[in-house]
Amino acid sequence: MNRDLHDIDKLFRTALESHEETPTAGVKEALDTALDKKEAEKNKRRLIIWKRMSLLFLLLLTGFLLRESGILKNFPARTGAITADKKINPAEEEKNSVPGNPGENITSNSRGTSGETTNTKLEKPATRQVNLVETSTPQGATVPDISGINNQQALKKKIFSKKTAVQENKQAIILPINTQPVTTAHQEIPGKKINSVQKNNFYKPGEKINTLQVPEIYSISKITGLLATKLLQAPLPAVSDSLSKFSKAQTSNDKKVKLFKPSWLITAFASYERVGYKLDSDEPSAINSIKYREAHEPSFSGGLLLTRQITRRWSLQSGLVYTNAAIGMKPQKTYAFRDPTGDVAYKYITSSGYAFFKPGFGPQPAVGDSLTTAEAKHRIEHISVPLVIKHTFWDKKISISPGAGVEANFITKANLEVDIEDPFNREIVVVRKLNGTKPFYLSFVADADLRYNINKKIAITVRPVYKHAISPITKNNVVETYPHSFSVGAGVTIKF
C-alpha cells in the first residue's frame, strides 16, 4: 500500500512538471531591467530632493554672510546697530572754541541723548571795552568808601551764571582779557574803615591792599582797587579744564562702546563615539538578521576645527575630523555565489557592504554550498569636512556655542576580518575592501562648543556632537544603511 502511494506521488509530480512553463532568459533580463529602472528612478528622486535642500541651505548661508559682513548696509536690521562715536581732535576743538571778531559763531560737536553726533553753533558773547583806570593811590590818601560791594556781589553772580552756562553746553570759551602792566600801591587802612572791611572778609589787620587794573570783560564804571583785587580772585572758566573734562568723558564713552574685531579660533580635540545605524530594505528578514548578528563597539574620533568669528555672536566652523568605527559580528552561515570576476566564493553580508572570500583549506566551493563562520569584525574609517553655523552666548569666562550644519564624509577604509574554523583547521580571512560601499555620503550634524577661557588666547573646550546620515553608505546591497553617532570630546582652543 505504501508503494502504491509513492507511485501515485511520482505520477502526480510528473504530470505537474509537464504543465509548468520554464521562464526564458529574456523574461529574467526584463525583470532585472525593470527593477533596475525602478531603483534608478527612486535614487533620482532622492538626488533631486537633496539638491534642492543643499541649494536652499547655500542661499540661506550666503544671505547670512552678506548680512553679517556689512555689505548690505541698507538692511533694516542694521538700523539699530551701535555706531562708534567720532573722536574729536582736542586741537581742532580748541581752534573752533577761540572767539574771533564780535558776532562770529563758534562751532562745536555736542552729543545728543540718542547717541548721534550733531553740530551746534553758539554765539560768542559780546564783550564791552572798558577803559582801564590806574588805581594807584598816592601816599597819605585815604581808602575810598567800599559801598560798591553790593555791585561786586552782583558781578560775581553774573560771572557764575556765565560759567554754569558754559559747563552745561560743554563748551570751552575763552574770555578775552587784555592785561596791562600792573600798578600796585600799599597803604594802611584807617581804623574807622577796618571794621566795615572785616565784616565783608576783604581785609585782615596787618595786610596790605594790592590794587590791580580791571580786565575789559568786566563792565564797571567806577571800581576801587580793593574791589578789583577780589574780582581777579574769582575763578574763570579755563580752556584746558574744559578740554580735560571733555576728553575724560569721551574716553569713558569709547570704553563702553567697543568695536568688534573678527578673529580665528582653532580647536584640537579627541572624542569617544557610540555609533549606530538605521537600516532600510524591502526584505524585513534581512534587516532583522543583520541587527541580530552585528553589535557596534566603542569608537573614537579626533581632528582640527577652524572657526571664523564673523560677529560678536555668529561664527562659521569647518575643519577635518577622522572617525574610526568598529562593528563586532556573531557567527553566521554564508552561501557560495559567483563573484563579479566569475569565480565561485562565499558571500559575507554586512550592514556596510558585502565581501567574497574562499578559505585556504577544504575543497573548491560550488554555487549553493554553505559555510558557517566564527566571529568577525568589521571596521570603517572616514574623514569628514563639516560646515556649521554657530551662535555664541558669552558669560565672562564661560561661553557656549551651539550650532548646526552639514558634513561631507569620505570613506577611506572598509575592511572585514572573518574567523573560519573546522575540526582540523582554523583561518582568519582579511578582506581589504568591501563591495557595495559608497565612497561618499552626507550627514546632518548638531553640536555645541563649551569653552572655559583660561586667558584671552587659550580655552578648554568640551564638544558634544550628534550626527545622522542623510544619504546611505551602501549601494546594491540587501539593505540601505544610514549611520548615526553621538560623541563627547575634549580639546584646546587657541584664539588668534
Please check whether residue 418 is in contact with residue 376, taking contact to mean a CB–CB distance below 8 angstroms.
Answer: yes
pLDDT, mean of residues 388-394: 91
Residue 314 pLDDT greater than 60, yes or no: yes
What pLDDT sits at residue 16? 65
pLDDT per position as a tens digit, 460-470: 999 999 999 99
What pLDDT sits at residue 65? 67
C-alpha–C-alpha distance, residues 371 and 388, integer Å: 47
Query: β-strands 333-338, 370-372: how paired?
Result: antiparallel
Which range among 58-72, 256-270, 369-383 has the greatest average pLDDT? 369-383
Residue 226 pLDDT greater than 80, yes or no: no
More confident residue, 239 or 64: 64
Confidence grade of residue 206 (pLDDT, cut at 50, 70, 90) = low
Q: What's the mean per-residue pLDDT of the chain?
A: 71
Residue 411 pLDDT greater than 90, yes or no: yes
Closest residue by Cα to residue 106 from 177, 175, 178, 179: 175
User: Can you read off the three cell numbers belonging to residue 336?
Assistant: 557560495
CA angle 205, 211, 214 (to 5 degrees): 140
pLDDT per position as a tens digit, 324-366: 999 999 988 889 998 888 889 999 999 999 999 888 887 888 8
**How would DSSP label each residue in 374-409?**
--EEEEEEEEEEEEEEEE-EEETTEEEEEEEEEEEE
> Beta-carbon neighbour count of residue 373 at 10 Å?
20
pLDDT, mean of residues 118-140: 43
Confidence grade of residue 189 (pLDDT, cut at 50, 70, 90) = very low
Domains of the chain: 122-137+146-255 (no CATH), 259-495 (2.40.160.20)
Q: Where are the alpha helices (DSSP H) in 142-188?
A: 149-168
User: Can you read off the three cell numbers belonging to residue 52?
Assistant: 534642492
Q: How many helices (H) and strands (E) does the chain have?
A: 8, 16
Residue 486 pLDDT greater than 90, yes or no: yes
